[in-house]
Structure 1
Amino acid sequence: MELLAIEGKIKEKIYGKQKIYFADQAQFKDMNDTDLKAMDCQLSELNTEALSLTQTCRQLDAELKELNNSLTTEEMMSEIQQLKEEYSSYRVRLEKIKSATNHVTPEEKEKVYKEQKVYVKEWKKRKRLASDMINAILEGYPKSKKEFLEEVGVETDEDCKVVVPNA
């Protein structure tokens, strides 16, 4: 800073032990109101242009990101080929299913549904009985239900993530 002050590019003022440096106002030309207004207009035009360019840049970035995330032509062709192969395998499987002669008769289907209802009903009945017994034991048990089930080694349907189906 001292070198710039010696060269005359900036001014130096000394206040006690402190030195203050500032720009030499004499080296700048005097500006009148018309020059300042012209500069203000130019500044506002440049700000508008910068805003426009920033918006365009954002749009182009979004478009670039979208293009980078999309498949290339080769990848798309590969995907189409894979889907065609998958389609043909499903077509063959459908033909096999249509030509099969071992279809389930409505009577057999109804029999299976009736058996399921019986088994689900029995499941719910046994679950209710077991729950009633556990609750009766827990009335005089000092620990929590969870601790009791762990001690006895009982696994509930919820522990195994099993849901009783609707009958």
Structure 2
Amino acid sequence: MSKGRGEAAAGAPGLLLRYLQEQNRPYSAQDVFGNLQREHGLGKAAVVKALDQLAQQGRIKEKAYGKQKIYFADQDQFDAVSDADLQALDAKIADLTSKVQSVQQSCRHMEAELKELTSALTTPEMQRQLQELQEECGGYERRLENIRAATNHVTPEEKEQVYQDRQKYCKEWRKRKRMATELCDAILEGYPKSKKQFFEEVGIETDEDYNAKLPDP
């Protein structure tokens, strides 16, 4: 056992007696060890030995529950409490509990507000973003002015005429393609060579040769 651990074990009875009197509630040896070990460096064996010693001396009380023992301060050393005093303590506990709940609720609200403020943009970031948006908006405004100032606008009538011409030419395209296909098929019925050789000899160029695709109607 180290010197420090030995000194802690020697002073364990007095330390544990004060602890049980101050807390005035029942504890197992494991509870006491867990509560005081980190701060005072007490070993589990030293805690058990000191509690048993205090109980044998009658300075604390112990009760056994199966294999486990519970230790607590001797209640004879405390002044008797009347029913009126107990009621006053209960009222005080209820009042303090209400205050604790109110403070906890305020803390939750403040934590939520802090989280919102932490995730929000800082003033320099907001100024920088505002400047970027103003510049972007200015660009759109200049573009809009250029469009409005242009003199080559297409009128609705001209637009409608373009659509009508497109439909007309696509219709004629389909018609002539169908006629040419039917004519070629008729010739190929008596042609001794392949369709490709026929097109090469005659010099026929197809839409597919130029990746030309007939628009959907």
Tell me the TM-score normalised to structure 2 length: 0.46
What is the alpha-carbon distance in structure 1 between the residues aligned to residue 64 and residue 131 of structure 2?
A: 83
Letter aligned with residue 98 of structure 2: T
Match of 1:103, SS? coil
CA RMSD of aligned residues (A): 3.0
Task: Please list the CA deviations of residues 125-160 of structure 1 after superposition, one character each: whole Å capped at 9, or x if unmatched.
Answer: xxxxxxxxxxxxxxxxxxxxxxxxxxxxxxxxxxxx
Contact kept in structure 2, 1:12 and 1:19, CA below 8 Å: no
What is the alpha-carbon distance in structure 2 between the residues aligned to residue 111 and residue 58 of structure 1?
A: 68
Match of 1:46, SS? helix
Closer, same or farther in 2 for the Cα pair 1:13/1:81, shift >3 Å?
closer
Q: Is 1:54 paired with 2:104?
A: yes
Equivalent in 85, 89, 108 of residue 135 of structure 2: 85
Match of 1:29, SS? coil
Q: CA deviation at 1:58?
A: 1.2
Task: Please list the CA deviations of residues 93-142 of structure 1 after superposition, one character each: whole Å capped at 9, or x if unmatched.
Answer: 111111112211223321455557xx8xxxxxxxxxxxxxxxxxxxxxxx
Counting matched residue pairs gives 118
Equivalent in 65, 74, 78 of residue 115 of structure 2: 65
Q: Is 1:26 paired with 2:76?
A: yes
Letter aligned with residue 10 of structure 1: I
Task: Show the counterpart of 1:128.
Answer: none
Match of 1:11, SS? strand
Higher radius of gyration, 1 or 2 = 2
Q: Which runs of 5+ in 1 are unaligned?
A: 120-166
Match of 2:153, SS? coil
What is the alpha-carbon distance in structure 1 between the residues aligned to residue 61 and residue 128 of structure 2?
A: 72
Q: RCO (CA 8 Å, sep 6+): is it higher in 1 or 2?
A: 2
Q: Which runs of 5+ in 2 are unaligned?
A: 1-50, 171-216
What is the alpha-carbon distance in structure 1 between the residues aligned to residue 137 and residue 68 of structure 2?
A: 84
Closer, same or farther in 2 for the Cα pair 1:10/1:111, shift >3 Å?
farther
